[in-house]
Amino acid sequence: MELGSLTVRSKPFSDKDTILPTCARCSMANPIISDKNCCFNCRHPFIISFMSFEVLPMIEFKPAAGLSHTKVMDLLSS
């Protein structure tokens, strides 16, 4: 039983590429079922939509230290 479990775990995932969640940061395809809710390559956390249960393409960013709030809002709206 243990040998069978190790054999199954050692095989790479073989899901169709069209259904695999893709990381928005590094564009890496990840397995559908995993114990962590993040990308295996860059460790960027996945934000899951409760409506469709798909990974939303969201990336966190921080503006430069010298920018004011109004300047950041202007840059985001352009």
Q: What is the pLDDT along the chain (78 residues), one digit of tens a residue?
A: 888 888 877 877 676 777 788 888 898 888 877 778 899 899 889 888 899 888 888 877 788 899 999 999 998 898
- Note the pLDDT of residue 74: 93
- Note the pLDDT of residue 68: 92
CA angle 6, 12, 15 (to 5 degrees): 125
pTM of the model: 0.54
- Note the pLDDT of residue 13: 64
Nearest CA among 48, 40, 44, 49 for reference residue 13: 40
Q: In whole angstroms, how large is the CA radius of gyration of the chain?
A: 18
